[in-house]
Structure 1
Amino acid sequence: MTEQRPPLPPFTAETAAAKVRAAEDAWNTRDPDRVALAYTPDSVWRNREEFLKGRDEIRAFLARKWAKENGYALRKQLWAFTDDRIAVRFQYEWHDGTGQWYRSHGNELWEFTPDGLMSRREASINDVPIAESERTLFGPRADSEC
């Protein structure tokens, strides 16, 4: 049986936005096992300066990431889409082990298989140190938040 991860391509504005929101919700769980299932078994990633291939590497990467990034809260926004690709802008906030807060800004390019699994992810990310008083993101997005 083939794995599927709806919504499936070809994307419309509505289904692309739903795909982005589903990714945001999953990443906010900080569960590497759950998040890794959205990618093909041979998915290829570039995340900052790291190049990853396959679910096992993705899962290990996410475990390392979320062990370091405490208080993680993410927001993603649909930027553009085509039949099987989505561009996203995002920001997330987190603090390190010393209590220093950061706001990370970035862009992602996603490519999907016909089954809705992500086969490629390219992410460019910049971290900006912020004071705790400058935080704007607190936990997962509320249903009332646009």
Structure 2
Amino acid sequence: MSYARPPLPPFTAETAARKVRLAEDAWNSRDPQLVSLGYSVDSMWRNRAEFINGRPAIVEFLGRKWARELDYRLIKELWAFTENRIAVRFAYEWHDDAGNWFRSYGNENWEFGDDGLMRRRLACINDLPIAEADRRYFWPPGPRVANHPGLSELGL
């Protein structure tokens, strides 16, 4: 069964920014099944050096990711867009099971089908160890609260 996932291409500055925020909110849920619904059934990813194809593989990947990246909190920001493509920059904070904190920085290139589902995601990510005192993301688990600053406001 196919369904549409608004906003749909072709994107405007407003709809591209909305698409980015919806993706951020989904990822901050840390629910692999929920996140996977934003991607086409045959979506293709490159995440760092890992290649992932299809929703079942996305769910499996995200389950592994969030089992390792604890207290994950993400901020995405629109970088550029065209008719059916969006480029974002992002940073997320997390810690491992030994209590070591990290801020991971990256860029993603997204390509969408006419139904608004992402059919391609290409991600480059770098991890920076940080002291717990250097954390900047303090909202409760789930979507970023409306008054929490974004990446530009945080100087990231």
Q: TM-score, normalised by structure 2?
A: 0.91
Letter of the structure 1 residue corresponding to residue 137 of structure 2: L
Asked whether 1:59 is paired with 2:62, we answer: no
Q: Deviations over 1:26-79 (max 9, x none)?
A: 000000000001000000000001001000000000000000000100000000
* Aligned-partner SS, 2:146: coil
- The residue aligned with 2:147 is 144
2:32 and 2:120 map into 1 onto residues whose CA distance is: 17
Letter of the structure 1 residue corresponding to residue 144 of structure 2: R
Letter of the structure 2 residue corresponding to residue 95 of structure 1: H
- The residue aligned with 1:15 is 15
Q: TM-score, normalised by structure 1?
A: 0.97
Structure 1 residue 2, shift from structure 2 partner: 3.0
Letter of the structure 2 residue corresponding to residue 141 of structure 1: R
Q: What stretches of structure 2 of length at least 5 have no aligned partner? A: 150-156
Letter of the structure 2 residue corresponding to residue 51 of structure 1: F
- The residue aligned with 2:121 is 121
Matches for 1:77-92 after TM superposition, within 5 Å: 77-92=77-92
* Aligned-partner SS, 1:104: strand
Structure 1 residue 92, shift from structure 2 partner: 0.2
Letter of the structure 1 residue corresponding to residue 109 of structure 2: L
Structure 1 residue 137, shift from structure 2 partner: 0.9
- The residue aligned with 1:74 is 74
Runs of 4+ in 1 over 2 A off after TM superposition: none
| Farther off after superposition, 135-144 or 20-29 | 135-144
Structure 1 residue 3, shift from structure 2 partner: 1.0
Q: What stretches of structure 1 of length at least 5 have no aligned partner? A: none
Structure 1 residue 145, shift from structure 2 partner: 3.1
Give the aligned length: 146
Structure 1 residue 129, shift from structure 2 partner: 0.3
Structure 1 residue 141, shift from structure 2 partner: 1.7
